[in-house]
Amino acid sequence: MDFQKKKFVIIFLTAIVLVSGGMIGYQFYQKEKKEAVIESQLKAEREAIQEESGFAETKVISAEMNPTEENIEAAEEAVYLLPDSEEKLNLKERVALVKEEFINNRMAKEEARLAELRNDIDQAKIALGLDKSPSENDISEILHNMTHQKVRSEEKWGFVQMTEVNLLAVKEALKKNPEFNQNIDYLGIVTEWLNNDFSNIVAEHNTIWKMNKGTVGKAYGILSPSEEQALVKEQFGAH
**Cα–Cα distance measured from residue 151 to residue 158, given in angstroms and rounded to the nearest whole number:** 13
- Give me the sign of the Cα torsion angle 75, 81, 84, 85: negative
Q: What is the mean pLDDT of residues 172-196?
A: 94
Task: Specify the pLDDT at position 84.
Answer: 87
Mean pLDDT, all residues of the chain: 85
Write the CA distances from 85 to 49, 103, 114, integer angstroms.
11, 27, 43
Residue-wise pLDDT tens digits, 221-233: 999 999 999 999 9
The whole-angstrom distance between residue 189's C-alpha and the CA centroid of its chain comes to 16
pTM for the predicted model, two decimal places: 0.69
Q: What is the mean pLDDT of residues 122-150?
A: 94
Task: Specify the pLDDT at position 95.
Answer: 95
Task: Specify the pLDDT at position 156.
Answer: 87
Using the predicted structure, report yes or no on whether residue 73 has a pLDDT greater than 60.
yes
Name residues whose C-beta falls within 8 Å of residue 49's C-beta, 6 or more positions apart in sequence: 82, 83
Q: What is the mean pLDDT of residues 165-172?
A: 97
Using the predicted structure, report yes or no on whether residue 52 has a pLDDT greater than 90.
no
**Cα–Cα distance measured from residue 24 to residue 32, given in angstroms and rounded to the nearest whole number:** 12
